[in-house]
Amino acid sequence: MAQGEYPSPEEFVEEAVKLVDEAEKEGITLRIMGALAIFIHSPEYQDLYLKFGRLGGKVFTDIDFMSLSKCRSKIPDFFTARGYTYNPMILRLHGKKRHIYYGKRIPMVDVFFDKLEMCHTIDFRNRLHLDKPTIPLADILLEKMQIVEINEKDIIDSIVLLRAHELGDNDNNVVNVKYIAKLMSQDWGFYYTTTMNLKKLKQFLPKYDVLTDEDKNDVASKIDTILEAIEKEPKSMGWKMRAKIGPSKKWYRDVEEVLR
């Protein structure tokens, strides 16, 4: 990384959006994930996001992308042509599912393919066309909610996302509750982690002085609506059978941290 001040949020946004647009011209699908996606998708609430000071002076530490496996072979040349480097050993070991690139100004870029396979799995193969330059809002929320040991940074991200957007039954700039409820009805483990974390979000709301009473009430109401939709959705037979066992049996995947 070049000497000087740490890159600003605006620099991360500019670089991420530029990479999405330039990739598209080369037949490569990239969609922004994570905290940066929330920041980009919530322009009216960026000031609130910054007030939280979730990482101190470093608002973002990297850029996360989701792509498709059919684009995988083009990705290394695409990033190296733009000044990024990579570790060939890491690419050989983990390159089928994930690539990591290092920039001169932006510290790091993560590219995942087809699925986010962390504590639980989110399949993006039929969803990346639904939004641009980010993944759909519902998937951004699920990306946070699937973390079994969720930290405060991810709680803050989720609160801002819910405050900044309405709920709905589609992916047109709203959080698609119908999609979330359907997904949860098929996988008890994912359901258990998500509902646990949604309740945790609600418990954290009174802690934050940067939130007004209106902010807190709005987010709490949306959490209740999502939880209600999840509970009402008819569950699959596999879900019902796994629910009988409950959390006495491990219901999530341990996340292997890739050497960076």
The 3-state DSSP class for residue 6 equals coil
Cβ count near 29 (within 10 Å): 17
The model's confidence at residue 1, banded by pLDDT at 50, 70 and 90, is very low
Averaged pLDDT for residues 151-158: 94
How many CA within 13 A on the CB side of residue 7?
Answer: 20
Nearest C-alpha neighbor of 142 from the set 198, 213, 58: 198
* pLDDT tens per residue, range 128-140: 999 999 999 999 9
Q: How far is CA 15 from CA 21, 75, 210, 231, 250, in A?
A: 10, 16, 29, 40, 39
Averaged pLDDT for residues 97-105: 94
* pLDDT tens per residue, range 26-82: 999 999 999 999 999 998 988 888 888 765 567 899 999 999 999 999 999 999 999
Which amino acid appears at position 31 of this protein?
R
Say if residues 119 and 253 touch (Cβ distance below 8 Å). yes
Instruction: List residues bridging with 167 in a β-sheet.
Output: 175
Question: Length of the chain in residues, anyone?
Answer: 260
Instruction: List residues bridging with 134 in a β-sheet.
Output: 32
- State the helix-helix crossing angle for 213-232 and 152-164, rounded to 10 degrees: 90
The 3-state DSSP class for residue 109 equals strand
Q: Name the E strands within 125-260.
A: 167-168, 175-176
Nearest C-alpha neighbor of 201 from the set 118, 250, 144, 253: 144
How far apart (Å, rounded) are the C-alpha atoms in residues 226 and 223?
Answer: 5
What is the enclosing helix (H) or strand (E) of 201?
Answer: helix 188-204
pLDDT number for residue 117: 94
Q: Residue 7: pLDDT above 50? A: yes
| Alpha-carbon torsion (185, 188, 194, 199), positive or negative | positive
* pLDDT tens per residue, range 162-211: 999 999 999 999 999 999 999 999 999 999 999 999 999 999 999 999 99
How far apart (Å, rounded) are the C-alpha atoms in residues 56 and 50?
Answer: 9
pLDDT number for residue 2: 44
Token digits for 168?
A: 């709905």
Nearest C-alpha neighbor of 177 from the set 127, 147, 132, 141: 141
Which single residue is written with the structure tokens 């991810």? Answer: 154
Nearest C-alpha neighbor of 145 from the set 166, 168, 161: 161
Mean pLDDT of the chain: 93
